[in-house]
Amino acid sequence: MGENLEVLKKRLADIGQLHRAAAVLGWDMRTYMPPGGAPARSEQLAYLSKLTHEMFISEEMGILLEKSENECAGIDPDSNEAKILRNVRRSYDHAVKIPTALAEEFSRHTTLSEDVWTRARAENKYSDFAPYLDKTLDLLNQMIQHLGYEEEPYDTLLDMYERGAKTMDIEAVFQQLEKPLVDMVRAIAGATPKGDNSPITGDYPSYKQNKLTLKVVASLGYDLNRGRQDPTVHPFCCGFSRDDVRITTRFSPDRLEPALFGSMHESGHAMYDQNIPAEFDNTPIGGAASLGVHESQSRFWENIVGRSLPFCEFVLPLLQETFPVPFESCDAARFHRSINRVHPSFIRVEADEVTYNLHILLRFQMERDILSGKITIKDLPEAWNAKMESMLGITPPNDTHGVLQDIHWAGGMIGYFPTYTLGNLLSAQLWRSMRKDIANPEEHIRKGDFAPLLDWLRENVHRHGSRYFSRELIPTVTGEPLNPKHFLEYLQSKYSQIYDI
C-alpha cells in the first residue's frame, strides 16, 4: 500500500491511544473514582478531547488523507484500505465542519445540562431543565447547519449514532411496529399468565450475585482473561482494546434480574468488541458497524437467549446452587414466566420486551417534533404524557417518571434512542438467520453450549468490525434489509406460550 496511507494509519493509531486513555479515565470515573476526584478528572478528559480533536482536524491530517485517497484510487472498494479511507473521510469531514468553538460550547453546555438535569429529575422540576434542553436544541440546529442534510435535519443527528441511516427508513420500520405492539400489550393485559408469574424475590448478597453472573457470562463466551466485571450505578460496557473489554453491573439486594440480565446484556456488547479481528484493533475499521448493531448483540444474549425457556433450564441449577432459597422450590417454567411479565410501566430501562419499543417510538416522535419546532420545549411534558396514555394506557404521575427519566437529552444525545429499537429488531432477525445454520439452537442453550451461537455471530457480525454500515451488513447476513416482522413474530410466538392470548 501507499506510504501516505501508512503514515495516516500511524497518526490515527496515535490518536486512538489517546481515545483509549480517555476511555480508561471514563471507566474509572464511573466505577471507582472518589467523589473529590471529579473536577480534576473533567479537566483531564476535556484536555484529552481537545487534543485529539486538534490532532484529527489538523491540516497535516487533511493533506495526508487526501494523498492517501489519491494513492489508493482504484483499489478494491471492499479492501480494508478502502474501508479505512471511507470511515476516516466520513469522520474527518464531520469533524472539520463543526467549528471548534461550537464543539467546545456544546461540550461545556451539555456537561452543565447533565448536572442540572440530575437535580431537576430528583426534584421533579422540569422547568429548571427546560432552558438547557432549549439551548441544546439550538446548538444542535447550528451543528446541523454546518453539517448539512439530504432529506431532513433529524437525519444528521441520527447519522451520528447509526451511520448512513435515514429518518424516513426508520419511520417506515417504526410505523410497522406501533399498532401490533399496542395491540399485543392490550391483549396481554387482558390475558391470564399460564401459571404463577410473580417476581421471585429473595435475599441476594452482592458477592454471591457477582460470582453467579461471572459464571454465567463466562459460559456465554465472554473472555474474562480479557475483561472483568465491576459494580456501578448505571451499567455499561467499555473497551480499551479488543483484549481489555469490561462490563459493569448493578446488584439489587432483593432481586436477581437487574444483575443477571444486566450482566448478560453488557457481555453481549463486550463479546462483540472482544471478537473484532486483532488486525483491526485501534484502526478505523476496529469498531462496530453501528450502535444499532451493537445493541443487537447485547439484546441477543440478554433477551433472545437469556429470557428463553431453554436458558432458564440451563441456569436454574446454578441459581439453586447459589440461592437454595428461593430457587429450590422453583422450576424453569416458573422462573421463565417471572422474568417475562409484560405490563405497561413508566420507566424505559425497566420495561419488558413487548412494551420497551413503544418507549422508544415515543422518544423518536418527540425528538423529531421538538427539532422541527412542532412541539415547544415548554409543551413537551404534556405531549409525552399524552403519548404514553395513547400507547401504553398509563399517564406518568410526574415528570421524573416521564420526560425527565433519561440522561440522553440532558447529555445532548438526540438521535440516539432509535438505535435501541433497531438493536431489538435486528436481534430477532439475526436469531432467525442463525436458526437456518445451526440445528436446534435451543438444545445448545439448554446444555449451556453457547459456542456455536457465538461462533455464528463472530463469523457473521463481529468479524467485519466497522467495515460495513448496518444497512450494508444486515442484508449480507440475513438476506434482507431490517424487517420488523421477525421481531413481531418472535414476540407473538414467545408470549403466546407464556400468556393465554
Query: Which residues are catalytically annotated?
Result: 266
Closest distance of CB 215 from its own copies, Å: 17
Contact flag: residue 18 with its own copies (CB under 8 A)? yes
Rounded to a whole number of angstroms, the minimum distance from the CB of residue 242 to its own copies is 8
Which of residues 114, 134, 169, 230 is near its own copies by CB under 8 A? 230
> Considering beta carbons, is residue 180 or 231 the nearer one to its own copies?
231
Which grid cell sits at 255?
432481586
3-class secondary structure, 451: helix
22 binds its own copies (CB under 8 A): yes
Q: How far, rounded to the nearest angstrom, does the alpha carbon of residue 236 sit from its chain's CA centroid? A: 9
- Give backbone dihedrals phi and psi of 334, rounded to 5 degrees, phi first: -65, -45
Residue 229, φ and ψ in degrees, nearest 5: -125, 135
Among 11, 67, 208, 226, binds its own copies (CB under 8 A): 226
Report how far residue 285's alpha carbon sits from residue 467's, in angstroms, rounded to the nearest whole number: 5
- In the region spanning residues 48 to 107, those forming contacts with its own copies, defined by CB under 8 A, are 48, 51
Q: How far is the CB of 344 from its own copies (least distance, A)?
A: 40
| Binding piece for its own copies, criterion CB under 8 A, among 147-155, 224-232, 400-408, 421-429 | 224-232
Residue 397 is given by DSSP the state S
Closest CB 113 distance from its own copies, rounded Å: 24
- Determine the size of the site formed for its own copies (CB under 8 A): 38
Selected from 1, 7, 25, 103, the binder of its own copies by CB under 8 A is 25
Site for its own copies in 129-188 (CB under 8 A): none
489 binds its own copies (CB under 8 A): no
Compose the 273-312 pattern: x for residues touching its own copies by CB under 8 A, - for all others: --------xx------------------------------
Near its own copies by CB under 8 A: residue from 1, 2, 30, 44: 44
Q: HSE (CB half, 13 Å, CA atoms) of 477?
A: 30
Q: Crossing angle, helix 100-123 and helix 38-56, to 10 degrees? A: 150
> Shortest gap between Cβ of 234 and its own copies (angstroms)?
19
Element (H, E) at 230: strand 229-231
Instruction: Return the residues of window 231-270 that contact its own copies according to CB under 8 A.
Output: 240-241, 243-244, 246
Strands 229-231 and 244-249: parallel
Min dist CB 168 to its own copies, Å, is 41
Q: For the range 325-328, what are the long-range contacts, defined as Cβ-Cβ under 8 Å and sequence gap of 24 or more?
A: 325/202, 325/203, 326/200, 326/201, 326/202, 327/200, 327/202
Residue found by looking up cell 444486515 in the block:
474
According to CB under 8 A, which residues from 406 to 435 bind its own copies?
none
Neighbouring C-beta atoms of residue 471, cutoff 10 Å: 18
Name the strand (E) or helix (H) holding 246: strand 244-249
Q: Tell me which stretch binds its own copies (CB under 8 A): 15-23, 66-74, 186-194, 481-489.
A: 15-23
- The distance between the two most distant Cα atoms of the chain, rounded to a whole number of Å, is 69
C-beta closer to its own copies: residue 225 or 493:
225
Contacts of 433 (CB under 8 A, 6+ apart): 460, 477, 478, 479
Cα first-last separation, the chain: 61
Specify the length of the chain in residues: 501
Q: How far is the CB of 284 from its own copies (least distance, A)?
A: 17
Rule CB under 8 A: which residues touch its own copies?
14, 17-18, 20-22, 24-25, 27-28, 32-37, 39-41, 43-44, 47-48, 51, 223-228, 230, 240-241, 243-244, 246, 281-282
